[in-house]
A and B are shown apart, each in its own frame.
Chain A
Amino acid sequence: MRSPLHQGGVEIDKEWLGKWREYFLAHYDEARVGDKVAEAAEFTRQYINEGLVSVSGGKDSMAMLHIITSRVKRNIHVFHWDHGPYLIPREVEQEILENLFKVAPYAYIHIWKYRYGWSEKARTEWRPWYSEFFKTLEELTRRLRARYHLLGVRADESSRREARGRVVERRSWIEVHPIYHFTWRDIWAYIFKHNVPVPRVYYAYAKLLGWDRVRLVTFFDREFEKYGSTTLDSILMWRHRNLETSRETRLQATTPRTKERGFQQQ
């Protein structure tokens, strides 16, 4: 009567994962991923001193962060955006933060919070997200006097991203994509080769969707309904669909914007 489904989704099939691990490790050597990594590190070197590394906690940004901290520079500025409990369950966010500190222990980690993420409306009204995110990024860029934003964008992801190019000039900063030439196989190969920590939800979703299609996006977000993401979330992350609507949670939703600025771990 019971099945992994009833446990709440994030159940990892170790045998299945072991087989894929072998495949990706073979790919690392065959596709010369090491050369791509060296090239990405060399490319990043010219931008890192005036750069801010944006990390969502997903596989691409974690691989990028690992390449930078292990091969280029350790005491970098890292920006992470906390979407709030309604969009990213706290367990996943906790895991992301732990992974960040593991991969970049000497970095200056700036964690800023999304004001509406503590309200249920964040799942249906996604427009404020864009304005607030870019405002935050602009403010942080100004404070740190950063010129470059390093992002884990890959050409392989979509034709639109491919058309963006590796270095893009924006209004207030220059966007740099160190792992632009990596494919999804290269990313997973790098992650398995160097044991880069990524959220466990990846493995639950990858088993169902496939390694090429799995992405870490906000959960139960109506913005991604047209991709069927909400259906998947309701099945795999059903435990997080309803949150406790206690007085404390409601209060948090109405309190003014809170930020953890310039969090630094030495």
Chain B
Amino acid sequence: MENLEVVFHLSSPVSLGFPWVFFDSLLAHVMLREELGEKYYSLPTKIPVKEIPKPPVKYYHDVPVASVSIFEPQGPLQVFGYFKRGDFPFPRGRISRGSGFFKDFYLKAVYIPAQRARFYCTGELSEVKRLVSKVPALGKDRNIGFGFVKLVEVKETPFEYGLVRDGLAMRPIPVKYLKYYEDSAYLAYKPPYWARESVELCAVPFTRVELR
């Protein structure tokens, strides 16, 4: 396994649903899409998929050695509001606008006008290269044009930066694996990141830590 730096050059701002994008979950997402094919788009909603493929990265205990996103340049957050509010002819009769096809919404997409998203990891170079080449866009609301990827660069780095770099945590690391941590919060530290089982008291990304 090699120490890698992956840089996504973006052609549109990245919309976020959480302050960071996890690199290992990005790889897992591509792998799951490859595995399921068209079925990926009709996943069951009542029983969520828990069998998530293991991305080709190194693990420190059960923590993937893959960083969260570093957006460059770091600008202020912005909000883009978009809505659906009865701007099409309604059929005759009674319809519900609170739910279903005619449901109204006024959504907000929080975005970062970044030009690059940088990640670090320790993994198999050829496999990581293959998987990242299949990422057309990053973040949320990609269907309305956010986070389009222009170019991906994968480079080798001399040191392992996926977990800790210059004393700073590069991703949530459970405090049980740390000798010292500056700040902590309840965060998901392994895939699936939406599951309660993955949540533990972790060191917050980009705060000072020392591994055990």
Residues in chain A within 8 A of chain B (CB atoms): 1-3, 5-6, 8, 208-209, 226-229, 231-232, 234-235, 238-239, 241-245
CB atoms of A242 and B188 under 8 A apart: yes
Whether a CB of chain A sits under 8 angstroms from the CB of B60 is: no
CB atoms of B19 and A238 under 8 A apart: yes
Residues in chain B within 8 A of chain A (CB atoms): 16-19, 70, 74, 77-79, 81, 103-110, 140, 168, 185-188, 196, 199, 201, 204-207
Interface of A is mostly: helix
Chain A residue nearest to B205 in the complex (CB): A6
CB atoms of B18 and A238 under 8 A apart: yes
Specify which chain A residues have a CB less than 8 angstroms from the CB of B103 in the assembled complex. Answer: 226
- What distance in Å separates the Cβ of A259 from its nearest Cβ neighbour in chain B? 28
Specify which chain A residues have a CB less than 8 angstroms from the CB of B81 in the assembled complex. Answer: 228
7 example contacts (A-B, Cβ-Cβ < 8 A) are as follows A2-B206, A6-B206, A209-B79, A227-B106, A231-B107, A235-B17, A239-B185
- What distance in Å separates the Cβ of A122 from its nearest Cβ neighbour in chain B? 15
CB atoms of B16 and A235 under 8 A apart: yes
- Measured CA separation A5–B79 after assembly (Å): 14
State the 4 A-B residue pairs at the shortest beta-carbon distance, nearest first: A228-B108, A242-B186, A228-B107, A226-B105
CB atoms of A6 and B204 under 8 A apart: yes
- What distance in Å separates the Cβ of B38 from its nearest Cβ neighbour in chain A? 28
Specify which chain B residues have a CB less than 8 angstroms from the CB of A209 in the assembled complex. Answer: 79, 108
Given known contacts A5-B19, A6-B19, A242-B199, is B186 in contact with A231 (CB within 8 Å)?
no
Specify which chain A residues have a CB less than 8 angstroms from the CB of B107 in the assembled complex. Answer: 226-228, 231
- What distance in Å separates the Cβ of A241 from its nearest Cβ neighbour in chain B? 8
Given known contacts A208-B110, A227-B108, is B204 in contact with A3 (CB within 8 Å)?
no
- Measured CA separation A241–B199 after assembly (Å): 10
Residue of A229, A235, A245 near B77 (CB, 8 A) is A235
Specify which chain A residues have a CB less than 8 angstroms from the CB of B205 in the assembled complex. Answer: 6
CB atoms of B206 and A235 under 8 A apart: no
- Measured CA separation A110–B102 after assembly (Å): 41
- What distance in Å separates the Cβ of B46 from its nearest Cβ neighbour in chain A? 13
Given known contacts A226-B104, A226-B105, A228-B108, is B19 in contact with A235 (CB within 8 Å)?
yes
- Measured CA separation A242–B185 after assembly (Å): 8
Specify which chain A residues have a CB less than 8 angstroms from the CB of B110 in the assembled complex. Answer: 208, 231-232, 235
- Measured CA separation A130–B209 after assembly (Å): 45
Specify which chain A residues have a CB less than 8 angstroms from the CB of B70 in the assembled complex. Answer: 1
Other than A231-B110, A238-B185, A239-B185, give 6 A-B pairs with Cβ distance below 8 A.
A209-B79, A228-B109, A231-B140, A232-B110, A235-B16, A245-B199
Specify which chain B residues have a CB less than 8 angstroms from the CB of A3 in the assembled complex. Answer: 74
- Measured CA separation A245–B186 after assembly (Å): 10
- What distance in Å separates the Cβ of A62 from its nearest Cβ neighbour in chain B? 25
CB atoms of A234 and B204 under 8 A apart: no
Specify which chain B residues have a CB less than 8 angstroms from the CB of A245 in the assembled complex. Answer: 196, 199
- Measured CA separation A226–B187 after assembly (Å): 25
- Measured CA separation A8–B183 after assembly (Å): 11
Residue of A1, A208, A226, A239 near B206 (CB, 8 A) is A1
